[in-house]
Amino acid sequence: MKVWLQRHLQVLGETLVWLARSPGSTLTTALILGVAISLPIMLFKVSQSMVSVTGELNGDSLITVFVSPGKPGQAGPMEEDQLILEIGHRILQIPLVRDVEYVSREQVLKDFRNESGLGDLIDDLDENPLPAMLIVFPEKSLAAAELSQLAIALADLDGVDSVSYDRQWQERLQAIIEVFMSGALILASLMAIGVVLIISNTVRLGILNRSQEIQIIDQIGGTATFIRRPFLYFGTLQAISGAIVALFIAMLALFLLARPVNHLAGLYSSGFRINLLDLETCGLVIVISALLGWMAARFTLGGYIRKMRASARGK
């Protein structure tokens, strides 16, 4: 075990020296890999941030019921409030409803006045044109179809003028997130292919530079594993260097985007925030890139060794 570890450490050191001898080529390859790998990372993190917002929305799927129990002037405030409370009581009898909150016409007007910025115009109105509302809290476990059926049932109640609920916006947001996730997966797949091709080409150039050394090792009885080992380290280290560059690019880009995007989301009272990279994501990117580099180097050198030995047997 000790000899095996020493041999691998020796080959690792030789590979690092090999990479250091051509810093321009090594840095160029790392930058190319970094740009390719960083794109799906950023798209994935943005999608992940959007998923957290969807989770918050799904937890508060509210239905707004606009109540119009009678024409203005036909019922006094006391009678109107009593009618609205009766409607609220009927809504509470529906099994899918968890709670109901009553919002009076005066409170609706006050909230609209504060949020719209049209205070002077509203003050000139002779009467309050806004209807009273009932905020319905459905069960949190409701699916989209069940929420839609509940909204239809509420709209059919006597005294209910109209019904509004936010699931439609949630479904649209979910569809956008699915597009982002699909885009991230497609980009990640293309990135994986690109990493394999770039590493394969880099390893192929290394093979050409050391072809005589490989042939001599093979002729004196060196195994394919022994021949492959430095190139496996070479491909893996190149991929890891590209992953590190990609993480730096993605972290910098997300950091620069976070402040203006979070400020924009705050203006719309949204909880959307761009999350920076965590250690788990960084580790996963490095491991996957290392595996891709290892695979590319193994397959490239394996094909070269087979061709070399077949050519030697033919002679």
What are φ and ψ of residue 67, in 5° steps? -100, 135
Is the predicted pLDDT of residue 312 greater than 80, yes or no? no
Percent of the chain whose pLDDT exceeds 70: 74
Half-sphere exposure of residue 301: CA atoms within 13 angstroms, side-chain side: 29
Whole-number Å distance between alpha carbons of 265 and 256? 15
Q: 276: which DSSP letter?
A: P
Distinct helix (H) and strand (E) counts, the chain: 10, 4
What DSSP element (H or E) covers 74? none
Q: What topology is assigned to 62-165 in CATH?
A: Alpha-Beta Plaits (3.30.70)
Asked if residue 128 lies in contact with residue 113, where contact means CB atoms within 8 angstroms, the answer is no
Q: How confident is the model at residue 72 (pLDDT cuts 50, 70, 90)?
A: very low
What are the angstrom distances between the C-alpha of 164 and each of 30, 159, 292? 53, 15, 50
> What is the residue extent of each domain of the chain?
12-57+171-314, 62-165
* Residue-level pLDDT at 290: 92
Q: What is the mean predicted confidence (pLDDT) over 134-145?
A: 74
What lies within 8 Å, CB to CB, of 265 at 6+ separation is 271, 272, 273
Asked if residue 195 lies in contact with residue 37, where contact means CB atoms within 8 angstroms, the answer is yes
* Residue-level pLDDT at 142: 66
Is the predicted pLDDT of residue 64 greater than 50, yes or no? yes
* Residue-level pLDDT at 73: 42
Whole-number Å distance between alpha carbons of 147 and 263? 32
Scan for tokens 């491909």, then name that residue.
235
Average pLDDT, the chain: 77
For 169-222, how does the pLDDT look when each residue is reduced to its tens digit (9 = 90+)? 667 777 777 887 888 888 888 888 988 998 988 888 888 887 777 777 777 776
Q: Which residues pair with 133 in a beta bridge?
A: 66, 103
- pTM equals 0.64
